[in-house]
Amino acid sequence: MSPNLTLLLVACTLIGTGVYLFLSRSLVRALMGFLLMGNGINLLFIVGSGPAGQPPIVGHSEGVMADPVPQALVLTAIVITLGMTAFVLALAHRSRQLDGLDLVRDDAESRRILELAETDNLGSVPTARETAEAIQAEGARTESRFHEEVAPPPPEEHEKGVGR
């Protein structure tokens, strides 16, 4: 039994469109892409599970039974998709309240690294040995400060009766 070519093409179209939308900076478009990808993958699970058959209830069907595992995977994926949809909608709503936009902004650290990479000024990268030595030196400094702060002062020498 060969899989239905129409269902495969629909699944591939859903996944391709979903990936395109998911790569957008808009949270709503990314959510729509996530939903389309999820539906396309669910459709692939169903197509890949084999031909349709009788319900998977032992003793009640005389013909070929359907495989229940892909059906369970699809149901689980639907529930997870529902939870992710609610979460991303909450993020988009909050972003819209704060900024008036639902776009994902660049991180300041990522922007700084990108600028350094564009100017080809990443600086010298320390070797593993230099990094290990720096960590050891920092640990020794921290330990000495700890002992200075925690250790009691040395006992004072009392000259009892000596030299009197």
Give how many domains the chain has, as a whole number: 2
- 38 lies in a domain? yes
- Whether 89 and 42 map to the same domain: the answer is yes
- Is 85 contained in some domain? yes
Name the residue with higher pLDDT: 126 or 73. Answer: 73
Q: Are residues 92 and 110 in the same domain?
A: no
Q: b/e map of 35-46 (b: 16 or more CB within 10 Å)?
A: bbbbbbbbbbbb
> Is 163 inside a domain boundary?
no
- Residue range(s) defining the domain that contains residue 139: 106-150
Q: Answer with the residue of higher pLDDT: 7 or 153.
A: 7
Question: Could you tell me if residue 140 is inside a domain?
Answer: yes
Percent of the chain with pLDDT over 70: 77
The answer to whether residues 76 and 33 belong to one domain is: yes
Q: What is the CA radius of gyration of the chain?
A: 32
Average pLDDT, the chain: 79
Q: What is the pLDDT of residues 64-93, one digit of tens each?
A: 777 788 889 999 999 999 999 999 899 888
What pTM was computed for the model?
Answer: 0.59
In a domain, residue 160? The reply is no
DSSP state of 123: -
Cβ 40 vs Cβ 14: under 8 Å: yes
User: Do 48 and 122 fall into the same domain?
Assistant: no
Q: Which amino acid, 57?
A: I
Same domain, 98 and 111: no
